[in-house]
Structure 1
């Protein structure tokens, strides 16, 4: 160790990079989740929040809620805000609040106003506060008036901070806030309107977790059929928390990929180091040292160096939450408090040390095979073959320990096991690729070009760099190719194919007494358009086959079906855009027990079969229906379809609204504007959603997520580049001898540069072809099997991958080779 760390800098960088990625990601995730828990009351705006969809609490329910503590009531829905002259309009996320809002946190506005003044009715006009982006969208200012439903409202201020915004969920439109009285006057809440009513309760004092759980149980016992969802301050933003945990798990797997890729660098560094110490090892052997003794000496040294790398990594990882806390606080609108999380750092340290030792054991086991004759002649550890079985068993045991640790600390065992299996499979395939490249190079026909002949010989000779180069670049490039193809297909589907076949508009909350007039308006303004309309209600699944949904274990991919309210409909005929996969559709005049059609994919994920029962709560009424058939639905077409379609007799006489889509493939932006103006002018309470606007928002979100994922994947590629540089540096000693001998025999520097360039080009192309094949398969599986989207291979990704592989291998290789070619011949020749 006193001799310095020469040859181990790549080793240190690989271990430190992986440990920093794992500890940093999990520390940030922990700090966000703890901050959400600590500010649970402010984020939720209450100790307990009850939510009802499409109906208000009845007198008994309201009395129960008031008995729990102080109460504030609000509503949320999407609506249209219009200019007074009807020249423009925009979709808004509308929220109403009462005088008691906010009970926790502070509503900040510009200019600063008291809540009562911001929403007060002055001279017959109610006040509103809006998101700043809305001023730009409609080209209005504070003090201007807008039409909201049946009334005009005055913009009194813009929203700087909405204390409970995180608990309200993601919105596709700018926020507008008004008073509960203004919402009533606007006439937007009508029969069947899609509206969420929230009841926030301040229980006074500091309720314990047990107190909050008791409220949940009491609500379930006293009002079992209410159909409301209950959330407490200990789980204020479950969707955000779940997404953070999923993303941190993904990034942790990326960090493990870095460690695995870096493991190749560890093995290369250990092998090169031991090769430089072969004389020392042979001396030990001459003095009677056993192979075990030699193994332990260098195992301790490798462990100490790995410990240094891990220490550097976890110090960097521990600092990441402190560096990002202000940025995260701004982005999430909460105070993210950073801290040092010892358990997270210890876990990252364990990952780093175990992975380093796993890859170091085999080359260390070979160290004991150095014969004493190495003192008297040149000898390379690359020729020693496999070590004794005990060292292979030890390497397998360490790899198994690492796998167990990864699985035991993961939130999703299935994904983690698939990841580990993919890593093992990738190593096997990469090894096969390197053997295949060497086999083809060895059996290639004789070529007249001296540089090319030398390149082919370098690829298959003993101690060649082929395996190291293919291994080091293969995993990193594969990950980048897979992510780039997934991102490209998703973007193409959103921006390219979908708008061609998707509707131009969705129209929500059309009342039953308006539907005929709505038909006439659309027929006048868009005579060539296709209008599809269906009745729509909202319902929550309570039971499956008589079992409470809360007591069931639903697979993660299907939880969205059973979480919260779902849009449902009824129909005498099979909906367009769906195909029956099992069962029969009911007759048009069917009048028996309630029946329901379920989407096949979701039913399969949940484990439902024909004849099973589904119990839903609709408008406070509990209905049990039997599954009559399964449908295959093409969701990506954005046509109207539902997870559950009921027989018409199920909701006979139930009040409801209508949902409609308008498809006009030839409509210009101007024509769409005319449609939007006509609908908004004639039906001010109908919400119009322009599909292209929603797709643009979705594409922007996909782009932001993809950018974050690419940045994470780039860390794996950086590790690959480090390993590649280490592998090429480790081979430079042999190349120095080769270049000196060849130059002595008459080879020019140009000839050697061409030979090395050909070698690196062949290795780079081989690795790129593997990365394209394996990354393409992974992307196809995720896109077509998990996302259920059309998949196609993207040539631009293939070209970019080929260029990246060639630039990295040839560029880094030639940088090292140039130094090799500059060596003086005499010192090298004297050693031969």
Structure 2
């Protein structure tokens, strides 16, 4: 019976199935890719690092740190720093990461070079391995030379890949590998240079790295050094990509939820039509269980087939993710297929189809045989207890599924609560519209308009079901769109700043000469910022060394080991805003030292205005008091500082400078960079236009990924609308046929249907967008803590677009009535 009835209703049942296929496909593809990603991180954790563990220090290791490093007997070591290099062949210059290596690093994975032999010979031959993309950019080949500081050496090979590098990091500062012994000859490591010392270790698998890390790392941290094991690195990587996975999972869940709403709304209308047939079956002796099972088997079959198709599509789709995310991953993800996602897809399809269709399905249980004579909208109502139990099961499932995806009970509860509130508001808005139209019915309007309004609250009306389906679909799609805007706005950088080139590490004796070179080119010196390096000695009378040993302190650990680069000036910059205290522009030599700190540093240090801090300024202790706290906009790509001194304090301290200028075009930028590198090889130059291009490219890729996932929700939402509105056609056909029999013209029937669907589309989409606006405002202020500037796209595109879509689908419903005679239509539908 289930099979025979399904064959007669196959078009509608296929639409039910389509509602859930895309949601299952999205969840399966993302879950499968996340599993593959985690497996790859664990399997390749050693190859990612190239060693079992690494000790690194941002300065020359202290005597005690060096003793620990030597006692562990490093198998390889490295010093790396960011610097400008030049190609003598054509005068090209570029900011790169110079890595001086000695020993057999990497112990796992390989250095991929062209020719392949260069990786093994560059240290002995005294050559350089240069990033392959960089060589192509400057038309340089192995055999040409490269100038690093004051050292010129041959390029022995093109560097394609090395453990620990990602596409993003190498695009900002491409790597150049040279032998460790030649670093001194470059004369680039001077006062103020940003450098890092790394020591690589290979150990037997019997060593318990977690216990080893817990013992050694605190000792190294006390000496401003750090220990990283391949297991801790894989955990960090896993957490980093978990955030991406959570967003993708939520987008997939939204698509799946839309599919379930499509199932629920379509089955509601479908079963409503079948009540009379069920009553007939019961008159002929069918039991409650039999009539219930007929339709349960249909819905279960839809769920199983939809889940299977969704899982197979998901398996195909997840092959795209390594390509989409390749620039964000430090390794190639190997995709493996297992039976688990297929089982998960089939189970989700079956379970969610039955769960969300259960409420309308239960009505078949409570149809009495007598209702064959009097089926109406109040017939076959299930008991309230049963209804509440089904609602409770749906809410419990949504919570458990959200918790499984997000792994956070609070967020999962918030997501379910927001969905439930939205559902209630949409249903309430639909009922309010019905009540309002009934109470203030426009009796003087024309026949077609009155008839279309009457359809919104007559028996067998579809107002609540369609407004909820349309509104929730619009709400979820619009929320995804508004959230995407918040995420991308948060990631934007200010490209309108006057300075577009920054010159770093200018020594005190070089300052005037660099200024003269810039001005001789007809370019302005926009900023000439002095930098003084220092460390914390004590905070509010407590020594930093003692605080490092205190496990109960509320001060963040990074601050205690950090080397601060501070400056001095008499005014705030455009990226700063005074939050607390009084700004002090200048001090006399005998005045107490009053400083200004950033709000994030004040939070991490757990200090306030008036508290005392002692700094160690290259061996000299300096007592200071917090005079003011600034809010700093770190997103602006310009020199910003956590600690700022007033003028009159640090002028005689050892220091170096950062300068900024504005170069009008690429040719003049290249000329200035060449001359600066030739005369001052220790300076580093950041061309902000290149950085803007790289960041914009990254943001474009992020936008593409977000839009790709939003596409699932939008497409599923459209299918839900098609399913819901198409299913409603069977309720309107008999009314339209009756109107034609009474003499109504085709244009009148067309207008009645058109106005009804326009009202439904407008009400549902408008309420959905307004709810999305409210929820996105809450997200922006409470979660992202960003100002919210809503896009007009949902109002200008989604509102008319969804309304027109509902109108188009609705009008296609009555084409059968318009093209055929009333009797022919009734026979066909019967």
* TM-score after normalising by structure 1: 0.84
**Residues 615 and 623, structure 1, Cα contact 8 Å, conserved in 2:** yes
Alpha-carbon deviation of 1:134? Answer: 1.6
Aligned to 2:88: 84
1:541-560 correspondence to structure 2 within 5 Å:
none
Match of 1:199 in 2: 199
Mark the CA change 1:552 to 1:693 in structure 2 (over 3 Å): closer, same or farther: farther
* Structure-1 residue corresponding to 2:389: 393
Correspondence 1:97-496 to 2 at 5 A? 97-119=101-123, 121=125, 127-166=127-166, 171-203=171-203, 205-208=204-207, 211-220=208-217, 222-237=219-234, 240-283=237-280, 302=299, 305-314=302-311, 316-317=313-314, 332=329, 334-339=331-336, 355-377=352-374, 379-380=375-376, 387-407=383-403, 410-439=406-435, 442=438, 443=440, 445-446=442-443, 450-485=447-482, 487=484
1:113 offset after TM fit, Å?
A: 2.5
Partner of 1:769 in structure 2? 766
- Is the CA contact (8 Å cut-off) linking 2:303 and 2:350 kept in structure 1? yes
SS of 1:499's equivalent in the other structure is coil
User: Counterparts in 2 of 1:495-644, with a 5 A limit?
Assistant: 498-501=494-497, 503-525=499-521, 528-535=524-531, 537=533, 568-571=565-568, 575-576=572-573, 577-584=575-582, 588=587, 597-600=596-599, 629-644=628-643
Q: CA–CA distance in 2 between the matches of 1:267 and 1:48? A: 54
Q: Is the 8 A contact 1:225 1:620 kept in 2?
A: no
Once the 2 structures are TM-superposed, how far is the Cα of residue 690 of structure 1 from its aligned partner? 1.9
Which deviates more from structure 2 when the two are superposed, residues 609-618 or residues 743-752?
A: 609-618
Q: Secondary structure at the match of 2:173?
A: coil
Using the TM superposition, give the Cα deviation of residue 767 of structure 1 relative to its aligned residue in structure 2, in angstroms: 3.9
CA distance in 1, matches of 2:301, 2:560: 50
Other-structure match for 1:21: 26
Unaligned runs of 5+ in 1: none
1:708 to 677, 696, 705: 705
Structure 2 CA distance for partners of 1:508 and 1:780, relative to 1, 3 Å: farther
Greater shift, 726-735 or 285-294, is seen at 285-294
* Whole-angstrom distance in 2 between the partners of 1:740 and 1:631: 73
Between 1:412-421 and 1:179-188, the stretch displaced more is 412-421
TM-score (norm 2): 0.84
Number of aligned residue pairs: 817
- CA distance in 2 between counterparts of 1:213 and 1:89 reads 44
User: What is the Cα deviation at residue 536 of structure 1?
Assistant: 5.2
Summarize the Cα distance change of 1:447–1:551 in structure 2 as closer, same or farther, 3 Å threshold: farther
> Which range moves more in the overlay, 191-200 or 573-582?
573-582
Shift of 1:201: 0.9
SS in 2 for 1:757: helix
Distance 1:486 1:323, change over 3 A: closer
Q: Deviation of residue 724 (structure 1)? A: 0.9
Q: Which residue of 2 aligns with 1:42?
A: 47
CA contact (8 A) 1:459 1:465 kept: yes
SS, match of residue 79 in structure 1 = strand
Could you tell me how far 1:303 is from its partner in structure 2? Answer: 5.1
CA displacement, residues 200-259 of structure 1 (integer Å, 9 cap, x when unaligned): 1111x3245xx2123323323544522222211113355543332111111111222123
Aligned alpha-carbon RMSD (Å): 4.5
Question: Are the structure 2 counterparts of residues 708 and 329 from structure 1 closer, same or farther at C-alpha, using a change threshold of 3 Å?
Answer: closer
Judged with a 3 Å threshold, the aligned counterparts in structure 2 of structure 1 residues 449 and 368 are, in CA distance, closer, same or farther, namely: same
CA distance in 2, matches of 1:168, 1:714: 26
Contact in 1 for aligned 2:28/2:345 (Cα 8 Å): yes
Q: Deviations over 1:425-474 (max 9, x none)?
A: 32233224434554565546357555444433334434333333333343
Tell me, yes or no, if the aligned pair for 1:735 and 1:820 is still in contact at 8 Å.
Answer: no
Q: Distance in 1 between matches of 2:40 and 2:601?
A: 34
**Hey, what does 1:749 align to over in structure 2?**
746
**Residues 756 and 340 (structure 1 numbering): CA distance in 2 closer, same or farther, change over 3 Å?**
same
Helix, strand or coil at the partner of 1:698? helix
3-state SS in 1 of match to 2:33: helix
Q: Is contact 1:90–1:138 with CA below 8 Å preserved after alignment?
A: no
CA contact (8 A) 2:254 2:476 kept: no
1:381-402 CA-to-partner distances (Å, cap 9, x unmatched) read: 5766675233223312431343
SS at match of 2:641: coil
- Provide closer, same or farther for how the CA distance between residues 156 and 139 of structure 1 changes in structure 2, counting only shifts above 3 A: same
Q: Return the offset for 1:424.
A: 2.4
C-alpha displacement at 1:553, in angstroms? Answer: 11
Summarize the Cα distance change of 1:708–1:275 in structure 2 as closer, same or farther, 3 Å threshold.
same
2:55 is the counterpart of 1:57: no
The answer on whether the counterparts of 1:8 and 1:269 sit within 8 Å (CA) in structure 2 is no
Aligned CA distance change for structure 1 residues 676 and 800 (closer, same or farther; 3 Å): farther
CA distance in 2, matches of 1:650, 1:3: 91
Query: Would the aligned equivalents of 1:225 and 1:621 in 2 still touch at CA under 8 Å?
Result: no
Gaps of 5+ in 2: none
* 1:645–1:743 distance in 2 versus 1, CA, 3 Å: same
The question of 1:686 aligning with 2:683 is answered yes
Note the alpha carbon deviations across 1:69-89, whole angstroms, 9 max, x for none: 542112333222334377542
Higher mean Cα deviation, 159-168 or 244-253? 159-168
Whole-angstrom distance in 2 between the partners of 1:3 and 1:117: 76
Inter-partner Cα distance in structure 1 for 2:228 and 2:616: 18
Write out per-residue CA displacement over residues 493-542 of structure 1, whole angstroms, 9 at most, x where no aligned residue: 888x8222353222222223323433343444455442141415487999
Determine if contact 2:525/2:659 at 8 Å carries over to the other structure: no
